[in-house]
Amino acid sequence: MNLLDIAINSTENDYIDFKQQWYSDEKRKFDMIHDIICLANSLSDKTHRYIFIGIKEDSKTKEKTFYDISDDSNTLKTEDIITILSNYMTITPKIEVKREYYEKDKALDIIIITPENINLPYYLNKDLQNKSNQKICKYQIYSRNSSKNTNKTEQCDVPTIERLFARKRGEELPIIDRFKLYLDDIENWKRPKFYSNDDSISIDNYYYLKNHKFKLVRQDYGENIRYIKNENNYLGLLYDTGISQNYWNYKENQHDCYDDFYCWFNVELWADNTLIDVVTILHFFIKYYFCDKGIPAMQNFYIPLCEDMRKRYHLKTKEDIKQSLAWKICKILYKYEIDFHYDDESQYEVILDMLNYEYFENMGKYLDKYNTN
């Protein structure tokens, strides 16, 4: 459903508000901020919340009247609203302003508000007062229940506040989505270490400091280490790793890939002593390729297993991979298992630029092209 359809087919509720016109200069720093915070903190299950500007709804009949705002002198752009919010809030929800035409030359504007659970609840970091001496207090939590905002002089009820913090902790998400949320909080994962009699690390578990019921268990490599020097053709390497042909050409042109190898291992995802999922990760050691190309990079890389990227997760682009559960696990491994400056993500993301995305996009088409050449 597009934005215009939402406006036409909806009434005011916990994620939709209607305004006849844009906020005036006096109101934009007061009423607009209050409206945005209330919608951002709404307990609606909708990803986006909307303020439709150019619509008035009858409170009794729910009939809507549209008003053309094409020439409204108080119109604000996305960056204008972000600037206003940033003056009073440390963390703001994502804001976007869009214009929709419902007739050839008649328009309404929509403020699209996209809160992130990890940032809930939203609030001001300093008091805001208007010319009538009304005040929105700092640190006060406002929300929206049905079509009604929390009064500016009050705070939303305790059960709503408790649910907002529960959402912040991911407690209302499906279990696998909670894992994704927690994996993004990389600094709060812990790898306990203890040593056996031969002084070697004897545990490869990771647990989430903010919720110890969530943990990763890394299995060992087993017997599946494969050396690049023993690979006979590019397609075999491509199927296992997804690596681009540039690397294969480098190897074939008598470059020293003697030490390069890849292998794979499983990472188990556990929550409350229940196995939730098993993700296979590929470990790729590339000794000289990036150095010879003048590209600053490390030598050990973790990437999702190529077959999983194609068949299980249907990842086709670099951005797809970066948003995947498997890549989030890779980032944990980069931080705790490889000795390098973790903050420089380019040092390990460079491996993503070496993948064969043409192959991911359409394997059959790529193989036909490869075999033809």
For the segment 161-197, what is each residue's pLDDT rounded down to a tens digit? Answer: 999 999 998 888 899 999 998 999 998 999 876 555 5
Q: How far, in Å, CA of 280 to CA of 266, rounded?
A: 4
What is the separation of C-alpha 269 from the centre of its chain, rounded to a whole number of angstroms?
19
Task: State how far the Cα of 54 lies from the Cα of 75, in Å rounded to an integer.
Answer: 11
pTM above 0.85, yes or no: no
pLDDT at site 298 = 82
CATH architecture of 3-168: 2-Layer Sandwich (3.30)
The domain limits of the chain are 3-168, 189-372
Residue 262: pLDDT band with limits 50, 70, 90? very high
Give the range among 105-114, 165-174, 276-285 with minimum mean pLDDT: 165-174
Query: How far is 257 from 354, CA to CA, in rounded Å?
Result: 16
Residue 123 has pLDDT above 80, yes or no: yes
How far lies 209's CA from each of 62, 240, 269, in Å? 49, 34, 15
- The alpha-helical segments, DSSP class H, found in the chain are 3-9, 25-28, 31-40, 78-86, 158-168, 175-184, 234-241, 245-252, 289-292, 306-307, 318-322, 325-337, 346-349, 357-361, 363-372
Residue 220 — pLDDT band, cuts 50, 70, 90?
Answer: confident
Q: Count of residues for the chain?
A: 373
